[in-house]
Amino acid sequence: MENHTKDSTMNVSSLNCIDLSDDDLHNSVVSLKQACLDCGFFYVINHGINDEFMDDVFEQSKKFFALPLEEKMKVLRNEKHRGYTPVLDELLDPENQVNGDHKEGYYIGIEVPKDDPHWDKPFYGPNPWPDADVLPGWRETMEKYHREALRISKAIARLLALALDLDVDYFDRTEMLGKPIATMRFLRYQGVSDPSNGIYACGAHSDFGMMTLLATDSVTGLQICKDKKATPQKWEYVPPIKGAFIVNLGDMLERWSNGFFKSTLHRVLGNGQERYSIPFFVEPNHDCLVECLPTCKSESNLPKYPPIKCSTYLTQRYKETHAELSIYHQQT
């Protein structure tokens, strides 16, 4: 277990800030590339979602978590990773955590109705929705947010493509972000973390996919570790900035870019205040073969990772980190 010294709680990270409304594309790409090489975390501002709508989304999220547990259990996560995830459902860092994460969540994926030919793919399907009489307007707000977050992700992917010396629309094609897997997750953290006793709001991990857009409230909690091999590990807080997204690269992009871009270890510590956040996980098409990008290999820099299908990789990562659904059915 980690020795949680006072010092390690005081460090604050300063991250590059990418302005999506900046006309100077070159400037944005240089700044983005530097962030991707340095730590894989950056802020994004002027993305086109206004503060009022964002406040609305957080309000709706709060309303859901404030429901009685039995109401939330009616929309318990299903086999397609949609719906409510209770406290301790996810365990991200088994080496350092005594049990799961001290957070509750709600996964919402791309809505694919059962009459769609692709509905049976592992990360597609209809979303369970809380009863509209209980939470009026909830679904509409969340679906709008999903659309907006996907739009912003695609804009960032265009900058990422340029930073990787690819055509600007490289990731736009159908087999990539044209028909993506995109899952957003509402989270509520409660309680005080105690790293020396293995208790974390969210255990150390790097995200599975291509990138994650994180919206948070004003409560501090997220930490990153820029060098996972350092001993002892040095953790820095990422302060929330009103109106900005915190964006981080995931393991799939690290594989895709042959390790050129980094996915960075991060975790959340609870300080006793309730904390709400919304990560939006962006992954390419189910069938996308994540294999070394053409600009990331050479005779002296051969591909380091074997190609793997996006849905195969994701299924494996979800299986490793989430409780078996059967445990909930034994309890009821």
Binds ligand OGA by CB under 6 A, chosen from 104, 148, 207, 283: 207
Binds ligand OGA by CB under 6 A, chosen from 16, 183, 277, 321: 277
DSSP at 196: G
Full DSSP string of 218-234: S---EEEES-TTSSS--
- Is residue 92 classed as helix, strand or coil in its secondary structure? coil
Q: In whole angstroms, give the CA distance from residue 267 to residue 2.
A: 13
Between 148 and 251, CB nearer to Ni ion: 251
Q: In whole angstroms, give the CA distance from residue 78 to residue 128.
A: 9
Between 216 and 258, CB nearer to ligand OGA: 216
Binds Ni ion by CB under 5 A, chosen from 207, 217, 236, 283: 207
Report the site for ligand OGA in 247-266 (rule: CB under 6 A).
Answer: 266
Between 42 and 170, CB nearer to ligand OGA: 42
Q: Which stretch binds Ni ion (CB under 5 A): 18-26, 199-207, 280-288, 320-328?
A: 199-207
- Is residue 241 classed as helix, strand or coil in its secondary structure? coil
Q: In whole angstroms, give the CA distance from residue 44 to residue 55.
A: 17
Q: Measured at CB, which residue is nearest to Ni ion?
A: 207
Contact 157, 247 (CB under 8 A): no
Shortest Cβ distance from residue 318 to ligand OGA (Å)? 12
Name, in order, each residue with C-beta under 8 angstroms of 153's C-beta and a sequence gap of 6 or more: 177, 182, 211, 213, 280, 282
Q: Measured at CB, which residue is nearest to ligand OGA?
A: 277
Binds ligand OGA by CB under 6 A, chosen from 268, 290, 292, 293: 268
Q: In whole angstroms, give the CA distance from residue 45 to residue 37.
A: 20
Residues that contact Ni ion, how many (by CB under 5 A): 1
Name, in order, each residue with C-beta under 8 angstroms of 290's C-beta and a sequence gap of 6 or more: 252, 255, 256, 284, 307, 308, 309, 310, 313
Between 207 and 254, CB nearer to ligand OGA: 207
Between 127 and 264, CB nearer to ligand OGA: 264
Shortest Cβ distance from residue 216 to Ni ion (Å)? 12
Task: Give me the amino acid identity at 275.
Answer: R
Q: Which stretch binds Ni ion (CB under 5 A): 151-159, 201-209, 302-310, 322-330?
A: 201-209
Between 35 and 222, CB nearer to ligand OGA: 222
Q: In whole angstroms, give the CA distance from residue 295 to residue 33.
A: 14
| Residue 187 engages ligand OGA in binding (rule: CB under 6 A) | yes
CA-based nearest residue to 17, from 37, 32, 3, 39: 32
What residue ranges bind ligand OGA (CB under 6 A)? 187, 202, 207, 214, 216, 222, 266, 268, 277, 279
What residue ranges bind Ni ion (CB under 5 A)? 207
